[in-house]
A and B are shown apart, each in its own frame.
Chain A
Amino acid sequence: MSRPDLVAAGLVASIVVWGPSPLAAQGLRTYVANGDSISVSLTGRPGDPEKGRAVVANRQVGLCLLCHTGPIPEERFQGSLAPELSGAGSRWSEGQLRLRIVDAARINPATIMPPYYRTQGLTRVARSFVDKPILSAEQIEDVVAYLTTLKD
C-alpha cells in the first residue's frame, strides 16, 4: 500500500465504522472501530492471558519481541524498535490495545507495527500468507488479555 493510501485508510478509520461486508469478504470477523479503539471482543469472548503471553513471546507467531521489549525474561534477545510493553495495560484501555494490534496503521499511518488482522491493501504478500491475517481473532483476544495484565 502506498503511503497516501495508508494516510487515507488511517483518516477514514478514525471517523467511520467499518461495515461488516468488507471484512466478511476477507474471511475475517467483523469489528467496529470507534475513534482509536475496538471495544468489543473479536470473538465475543474474553481471551486467555497465558496463551497471549505465549503468542507475544514466540518470534515466529507474535513477532512482537523482534521490535519490542517486554517482561518476558526467558526471551533473551529483544528488539529496540518499539516501546517497552510493560505498563501497556495502564497506558491503554482494552479497546485501544485491540485496535493497536488489529491494525496499528489506523492510528499512525507511518507505523512499522504490522497489521495483525488485515489482509487487504498489502503488496506482494508471500504465497503461503496470502489472505491470512498474521494472528487469528482468538490469538488477538489472547494477546489483548495478556497486555491488559501489564499494569506496571
Chain B
Amino acid sequence: MKPRAALLAVLALAATVARAEIPEAERRSGYHDMGPSVQAMQDDDAANPGTLWLLQGEALWDRRQGAAAKSCADCHGAASGLAGVAARYPAFSGVSSRPIDLEQRINLCRTDNQKADAWAYESRELLSLSAYVARQSRDLPIAPPADPRLAPFLAAGADLFARRQGQLNLSCAQCHDDNHGKKLAAATIPQAHPTGYPIYRLEWQSLGSLQRRLRNCLIGMRAEPYAYGAPEYVDLELYLMSRARGMPLEAPGVRP
C-alpha cells in the first residue's frame, strides 16, 4: 500500500471505528470500576505491590549483561529518557515487518544490543523491566503513532475485537463496548483500556502483562488462547491502545 493510501485507510478506520466505539467523554479506566481499597493500593507506591517489580527493573536497567556486556543505561542513559515510549507502543518494527509491543522491543535490545538470550514472556525480568520502562510514562496520554504501516494490523485488531469466539460464542466488544459497567457475576465489566499494564492482579498474586490479561478473557470465552507473543495479541494491543488514545497511563496498575 502506498503511504498516502495507507494513511487514508487509517483515517477511514478511525472514522468507522469511532462510531461503534465508546464516546470519548464516556471512556473510563478500569481503575474507576474498582473499590476504594484497591484504588488506594494502586495510588500509594508504598502499598502498590508492583513497586517490588519496579525496584528490580531499576536494578536490571543498570546491570551489564550479555556478550556485549552492556547495560540498558550504557546506551539509553537515565530511564527517564524513555518517558513517553510506553505510551506509543506497539510500534512498527522494520526487523519484524510488523508491529511489536514493548516487551518485544525490550527483548530486541536483549538479543541485538546486549547479545543475550531473550527473556521468556511473564518472566520476572521481562515484567520488571517493562514495568520500569512503562512507569516512566505514568500520567502521559496514550499516543499511538500515526504510522501508515500500522493500518492493516490495527484493522486486524479491531476485527478480532468484534469477532465472536469460543464455545460461548462471545466477542470482546459484546462485553467491553456493549455491556461495560454491568456485572458478570461478581466482576464489573470494565471498558478494557490497557492503561495500567503490566498490572499487579490480586487474583494472580503477581504482576502480569496485557497478553496474560487477554488470555484470561479468551479462556473465559472458552476460546483457544494464542501463544504468548502471537501476532494476534499485538494486533489487539494496537487496537486497544488506539481505542484508548489520549487516556493517561497508570502503570503499574492494580486490579482485583
Contacts and interface: CB of A to CB of B under 8 A. Distances in A.
| A and B: interacting chains | yes
Interface of A: 1-2, 6, 59, 63, 65-67, 76-81, 105, 112, 114-115, 122-127, 129, 132, 134
Contact of B165 (A67, A105, A124): A124
Given A124-B223, A126-B222, A126-B224, A114 B182 contact: no
Contact of A125 (B179, B182, B223): B223
Given A77-B185, A125-B166, A126-B166, 14 more contacts: A1-B164, A2-B164, A63-B168, A67-B184, A77-B183, A77-B186, A80-B183, A81-B184, A112-B175, A122-B164, A123-B166, A123-B223, A124-B223, A134-B167
A78 B185 contact: yes
Contacts of A129: 166-167, 222
Interface string B167-191: 1111000110011001111100000
Contacts of B223: 123-126
Interface in B170-226: 170, 174-175, 178-179, 182-186, 219, 222-225
B interface, how many residues as a size bin? Answer: 20 to 34
Interface in B44-102: none
Interface of B: 163-170, 174-175, 178-179, 182-186, 219, 222-225
Contacts, number: 71
Given A1-B164, A123-B165, A129-B167, A112 B179 contact: yes
Given A67-B184, A125-B223, A126-B219, A81 B179 contact: yes
A122 B183 contact: no
A127 B226 CA distance: 12
Contact of B185 (A65, A112, A125): A65
Contacts of A81: 179, 182-184
A132 to B, nearest CB: 7
A28 B175 CA distance: 29
Contacts of A78: 183, 185
B174 A112 contact: yes
Contact of A124 (B166, B175, B183): B166
A81 B178 CA distance: 10
Contacts of A126: 166-167, 219, 222-225
A147 B235 CA distance: 42
Interface centre among A1, A6, A78, A125 (most CB of B within 10 A): A125
Contacts of B184: 66-67, 79, 81
A102 to B, nearest CB: 13
